[in-house]
Structure 1
Amino acid sequence: MPPFTESGYLPPGIWAMSWVDFWERYGYNSRRANLLSGLTFALKLLVRSNCQTIYIGGSFITNKERPNDIDGCFDGMGIDIGMLDPVFQDIDEQHARFGCELRVDFMSAFQSFLQKNRDGEPIGIVEIDLGNFDITR
């Protein structure tokens, strides 16, 4: 994983990480660990619906000490819609339950959105393969 740029972002691109490595790099204070706990619960629900990949962007993957939430999306291909928890249709409910906003992404539209900062400049995002995510922990 590359270091942050001078402006505090990941360099442009999609950077693959394991869940364990993601937690170790980004869960370094109590606020971040609390947000990651909420994301863990959301990921357990996504894995049950056969979700294989999530993408995380926004302030959580910057050098910001106390991000407000976690922004991301999950690959909609292969998802068992019948098993997908209804919470993933309501961003406000996700934010209340998990402290994160995870949108279903088809055709990489939201991935592209996450790869730009507020000024439209290209930035990096993190890809996490959920194939080995342990839903029992």
Structure 2
Amino acid sequence: MIPALVPLNGSPWSVLPPGAHTANLEEVASAFATNAWRRELFGGLILASSKLKEAGCTKIFLDGSYVSGKPIPGDFDACWDPAGVDPVTLDPVFLDFSNGRAAQKSAFRGEFFLSSMTCVDVGKSFVDFFQIDRFTGQAKGIIAIQLSTDPLLFAKVQS
């Protein structure tokens, strides 16, 4: 379940309360795909999630202004758990960080990092870095999505 967004003193938009909040993609759509642009971003998230699931990824973490109160987010940010992922099946775009991750943004309208990869700017893994508000340095929340059991992806694979 996705909790209500909360104000964070010093941040321009409301954010998720601290923690990794488990939700499925339908819940993400209901909470955040609330206008035409956000629905377009959500379509990219679905495509990327499907490709990651096909490669054996079981979990992603969703972050960025997409999961905030910002009316028109630029994109979404996500990181994925590499445990169990088949590197042969994985779309190479998920490992292409060149040109500001232009290939990822073109393919999915968002950016993906390995959850265990260190963000060199702060010296923390991306899953931990994502839980820090960039404006205030305070703790904030992210969304944890279990791809292996997500009903939306299961239906997509079965069709």
What is the deviation of 1:6? Answer: 1.7
Q: Any unmatched runs of 5+ in structure 1? A: none
Answer whether contact 1:77 1:106 (CA < 8 A) is retained: no
| Ranges of 4+ aligned residues in structure 1 off by more than 6 Å | none
Task: Quote the residue 2:129 is aligned against.
Answer: 113
Task: Quote the residue 2:34 is aligned against.
Answer: 28
Deviations 1:98-118 (A, max 9, x none): 110011122781110100011
Aligned pairs, how many? Answer: 137
Task: Quote the residue 1:88 is aligned against.
Answer: 94
Answer whether contact 1:54 1:129 (CA < 8 A) is retained: yes
Task: Quote the residue 1:100 is aligned against.
Answer: 110
| TM-score, normalised by the number of residues in structure 1 | 0.93
Task: Quote the residue 2:139 is aligned against.
Answer: 122
Q: Any unmatched runs of 5+ in structure 2? A: 9-13, 118-123
Q: State how far apart, in whole Å, the 1-side matches of 2:3 and 2:47 are.
A: 27
Who wins on radius of gyration, i.e. which is larger?
2
Task: Quote the residue 1:45 is aligned against.
Answer: 51
Q: State how far apart, in whole Å, the 2-side matches of 1:71 and 1:59 are.
A: 8
Q: CA RMSD in A?
A: 1.5
Identity of aligned residues (%): 31
1:72 aligns with 2:78: yes
Q: State how far apart, in whole Å, the 2-side matches of 1:2 and 1:100 are.
A: 23
What is the deviation of 1:70? Answer: 0.5
